[in-house]
Amino acid sequence: MHKGFIILIFICNLLIASEIDQDSLWKEVKTIKSDQQFDFLIDFCNDNYISNPHKSLIYAKLAYKIAKKKRNYENKFKALNYIGLSEKILGNYQSAIKYHKESLEIIKKLDDEQLKAIALTNIAINMESIEEFEQAIYKYFEVLEITQKLGLTDKIILTYNNIGRVYFQKGDYEKALEYTLLNLKLAENSENKNENLAQAYDGVGIIYFNLSKFLKAEEYFRKSLELRIKLGNKRMISNSYNNISTILAEQEKYDEALVFLEKSVKIRKDLKLMSGVASTFNNMGEIYKIKKKYDKALEYYEKSLEIKRKFGNEKDLVPTKMSIGDLYDKTGDSKKCIGIYKDCLKISFENNYHHLLVQIYFNLSRFYAKQNNFIEAYHFQEKFSTLNDSLYSEESQLKIAELELQYETEKKERQIEFLTKEKEKQKIIKKFLILILIIIFAGLTLLYILYSQKKKEILFRKKIEKQIRDLNKNLEKRVQEELNKRNQQQVLLMQKSKLEALGRLSAGIAHEVNQPIARLSLGLDNILVRKSMQKLDDNYLETKLNSLFSDIERIKKLLDHIRIFSRDQSKNIPEKLDINQVINNAVMMIKTQYKNHNVEIKFDLTEPIPKIWGNKFRLEQVVMNLLANAKDAVEEKYSIDNYNEKEIIIRTYFDEDKIIFEVKDTGIGISSEEQEKIFDPFFTTKEPDKGTGLGLSISYGIIQEMGGEIEVESKKNEFTILRVIFKVEKY
């Protein structure tokens, strides 16, 4: 109640202060000679419309009144132009377009093509801001036609740059690059060569950046920086430093990126561009967060917040606060994370920042889910879904509201113009009446707000109570359903991995069986030849038959092992097993296949080695999965002829109470980022037809079931070691 009353008083004071400012300004203007009043106001607008758009807007409107009274069309154009520019800086793009269109109508009476080009350019820039890109391009082509007809090279270059920028915002990078390169070509021979070239280089660099061609983008941004330094334009130098830092960060050159950001901060502090300083500090915080230097990241986020609190608005604070919340989430401090996000929620809700609210609801749902607080998680997920679905229709309503506001603004301006012509006594009476009406309206509004809030609070409490009751009823059922679903998925994953392992075995088995079959065929042929030559004696026949039975026995053992391997993986009864024997059994089934691919398997097995408990056939599957990954890694790195370099080493050893076996390959290696994900289901760096991403995930599960651990050690383009560790336990 107290807060609402303060806000209403503030609104009243603001309305009164606005009239007082205009009155005092009129008095100030009247002290200047009448023929100098307009120039005084326009000079102020020219110098201050960017830094002080609110005051510039008031000055420009007063200048328009003077020009309108004297019926000076050129001065009316100047005043309308600065009204539009001030409205743009304030973010009132529709209003800015309206005033620039009015200035365009005045230009028709002046018949001045250069002024027409200025007005069209301003309309197009505001259309860009509200994403009416097709209309903006159409206006820029009108400008291009005028500037080409007048031979204004600098204006042609600027227009090409603007057209390229709009195509870039549309996502049509090919067209954007076409016009930016035209801009670059013209800039080479222009009067302001260095300034135009620097601008063109920035345009080309931004396009290459969005095409992910970072080296080309960096080349053009550095060219632009060279020219900016020659020109001595410190503001643009700081922008170039920021562009280069962005490119370096994309290339993971974080330390170099920070150097450029520090240079940018220094310049912006010297120029007192505090919003730019805040933005740069925020970028530095992001880089330190990526580098996992969370204390430094927090330091720069706090610096950014301090500046935004002093020079920005509440909306500017929210993204930086959310970044700090994400930082606490990464460090595991969920309490602080949720606290900060709730602060962001309060600001965004009070100020109707709908797009920010969508993201905040989503993240709060995620944070509560991580804490297993499913009631709060469900609550915020529901809010996220509702707001996200309604956002499009809400944006349409906002456009209608903007038009209504524009109409009300125009109406109010006409009323103010009428009131200023009245006598001082009538003005004081009307102000007093307006103030009384506002106070009455404020009181009624306050009562209505209190009533609405109380009603909403009761409805909300009832809704929450119902949700909690419903959740309590269904929670146990949903949890059981989820557990059943996860168990089914785990069974399917295991079966898929088993089929994948058997599929890989098929080629190896074919090679292993093919050799004894070939010898059987050759032996039988030899017997038949000897028989036809009548040289078949008993000794030869006995020797040859023993050899044939040996090959048959080899095939039988191999097939029996495969049958047992396929069947007995599902058994979960542990047994004592020799890890060296498991490795030899696994290699027996695939060694010929690897040999045919010129992949050499070397052994460094410690004998004897203590036995471990587990399912030997499932452990065989782990060995074959590790060998398959090693084979793929060396084949991807080396050509088929580099036999000596395609090498896999299997090693076993024990250390006190640990038994360890390793599979080492000399293949492509695994990056540090990928090492964190290789045991996730379905994660793979291979082509879709070369791997499912299940092998290592299933292997990880099998090793965990047997009470072991699996870890990875790798260096990019040099080697990879997958190490399995079992603790020896006494039963």
Structural domain boundaries in the chain: 37-151, 163-232, 334-411, 573-727
Segment 253-292, tens digit of pLDDT: 888 888 888 888 888 888 888 878 888 888 888 888 888 8
Segment 111-162, tens digit of pLDDT: 888 888 888 998 989 888 888 888 888 888 898 888 888 888 778 878 888 8
Q: Report the range of poorest mean pLDDT among 2-11, 358-367, 678-687.
A: 2-11
So what's the pLDDT on residue 36? Answer: 79
Interior angle at CA 579, CA 575 and CA 583, nearest 5: 120
Contacts 24+ apart (CB under 8 A), 500-507: 500/692, 500/694, 500/695, 501/621, 501/624, 501/625, 501/695, 502/566, 504/590, 504/624, 504/628, 505/562, 505/589, 505/590, 505/624, 507/593
Report field, pTM of the whole predicted structure over 0.85: no
Q: Which helix (H) or strand (E) holds 659?
A: strand 658-665
Average pLDDT, the chain: 76
CB distance 694 to 496 below 8 Å: yes
Residue 724 has pLDDT above 80, yes or no: yes
Q: What are phi and psi of 677, to 5 degrees?
A: -115, -10
CA distances from 128 to 113, 133, 134, 393, 585 (A): 22, 6, 9, 22, 69
Contacts with 467 (C-beta within 8 Å, 6 or more apart), sequence order: 375, 378, 379
CA–CA distance, 377 with 366 (Å, rounded to integer): 7
Contacts with 662 (C-beta within 8 Å, 6 or more apart), sequence order: 649, 650, 651, 652, 721, 722, 723, 724
Diameter of the chain measured on Cα atoms = 144
Segment 405-450, tens digit of pLDDT: 443 444 444 444 445 556 666 767 777 778 888 888 888 888 888 8
pLDDT band at 677 (very low <50, low <70, confident <90, very high): confident
CB distance 327 to 342 below 8 Å: no
For domain 573-727, give the CATH superfamily.
Answer: Histidine kinase-like ATPase, C-terminal domain (3.30.565.10)
Q: What are phi and psi of 608, to 5 degrees?
A: -75, 165
Residue 560 has pLDDT above 80, yes or no: no
CA–CA distance, 646 with 634 (Å, rounded to integer): 6
Question: Residue 644 CB: number of other CB atoms within 10 A?
Answer: 9
Q: Is the torsion defined by CA of 683, 684, 689, 694 positive or negative?
A: negative
Side chain identity at 68, as an amino acid letter? K
Tokens linked to 474: 């269904």
Q: For 60-73, what is the mean pLDDT?
A: 87
Residue 240 has pLDDT above 90, yes or no: no
Is-cis flag, bond preceding 53, omega within 30? no
Tokens linked to 420: 């200023």
Report DSSP letters for 57-118, one per residue.
Answer: HHHHHHHHHHHHHHT-HHHHHHHHHHHHHHHHHTT-HHHHHHHHHHHHHHHHHHT-HHHHHH
Q: Which residue has the higher pLDDT, 251 or 399?
A: 251
> Residue 7: beta bridge partners?
none
CA distances from 102 to 50, 73, 171 (A): 21, 11, 31
Question: Residue 532 CB: number of other CB atoms within 10 A?
Answer: 9
Segment 594-648, tens digit of pLDDT: 888 888 899 999 888 888 888 888 888 889 888 988 888 888 888 645 555 788 9
Q: Which helix (H) or strand (E) holds 647?
A: strand 647-655
Side chain identity at 712, as an amino acid letter? V
Segment 563-579, tens digit of pLDDT: 555 554 555 567 888 99
Q: For 44-59, what is the mean pLDDT?
A: 84
CB distance 323 to 301 below 8 Å: yes
Tokens linked to 643: 């036999």
Q: Which residue has the higher pLDDT, 421 or 250?
A: 250
Interior angle at CA 721, CA 718 and CA 726, nearest 5: 170
CA–CA distance, 283 with 262 (Å, rounded to integer): 11
CA–CA distance, 166 with 123 (Å, rounded to integer): 13
Identity of the highest mean pLDDT range in 263-277, 311-325, 334-348, 711-725: 711-725
Identity of the highest mean pLDDT range in 78-82, 342-346, 586-590, 617-621: 78-82
Q: For 503-515, what is the mean pLDDT?
A: 56
Q: Is 17 helix (H, G, I), strand (E, B) or coil?
A: helix
Question: Residue 32 CB: number of other CB atoms within 10 A?
Answer: 13
Cα R_g (the chain), whole angstroms: 39
So what's the pLDDT on residue 494? Answer: 54
Interior angle at CA 694, CA 589 and CA 493, nearest 5: 100
Fold match between 37-151 and 163-232? Answer: yes
Tokens linked to 438: 């506002």
Encode 316-331: b = buried (16+ Cβ within 10 Å), e = exposed.
Answer: bbbebbbbbbbbbbee
Q: What is the CATH number of domain 37-151?
A: 1.25.40.10
CA–CA distance, 497 with 694 (Å, rounded to integer): 6
CA–CA distance, 77 with 65 (Å, rounded to integer): 12
CA–CA distance, 427 with 425 (Å, rounded to integer): 5
CA distances from 11 to 240, 275, 337, 350 (A): 42, 26, 35, 16
CA–CA distance, 57 with 88 (Å, rounded to integer): 10
So what's the pLDDT on residue 350? Answer: 77
Q: For 513-525, what is the mean pLDDT?
A: 67
Report the candidate in 50, 44, 629 with the shortest Cα–Cα distance to residue 61: 44
Side chain identity at 48, as an amino acid letter? N
CA–CA distance, 128 with 173 (Å, rounded to integer): 16
So what's the pLDDT on residue 9? Answer: 27
So what's the pLDDT on residue 663? Answer: 94
So what's the pLDDT on residue 674? Answer: 83
The second-level CATH assignment, the architecture, of 163-232 is: Alpha Horseshoe (1.25)
Report the candidate in 575, 561, 450, 573 with the shortest Cα–Cα distance to residue 508: 561
So what's the pLDDT on residue 353? Answer: 67
Exposure of 434 in the CB half-sphere (CA atoms within 13 A): 15
CB distance 380 to 364 below 8 Å: yes
Residue 529 has pLDDT above 80, yes or no: no
Interior angle at CA 505, CA 501 and CA 510, nearest 5: 165
CA–CA distance, 94 with 88 (Å, rounded to integer): 9
Residue 374 has pLDDT above 90, yes or no: no
Share of the chain above pLDDT 90, in %: 4
Report DSSP letters for 222-253, one per residue.
Answer: HHHHHHHHHHT-HHHHHHHHHHHHHHHHHTT-
Q: Which helix (H) or strand (E) holds 727?
A: strand 719-727
Q: Which residue has the higher pLDDT, 353 or 231?
A: 231
CA–centroid distance for 182 within its chain: 32
Residue 5 has pLDDT above 60, yes or no: no
Encode 118-146: b = buried (16+ Cβ within 10 Å), e = exposed.
Answer: bbbbbbbbbbbeeebbebbbebbebbbeb
Contacts 24+ apart (CB under 8 A), 21-26: 21/58, 22/58, 22/62, 22/416, 22/420, 25/58, 25/59, 25/62, 26/62, 26/420
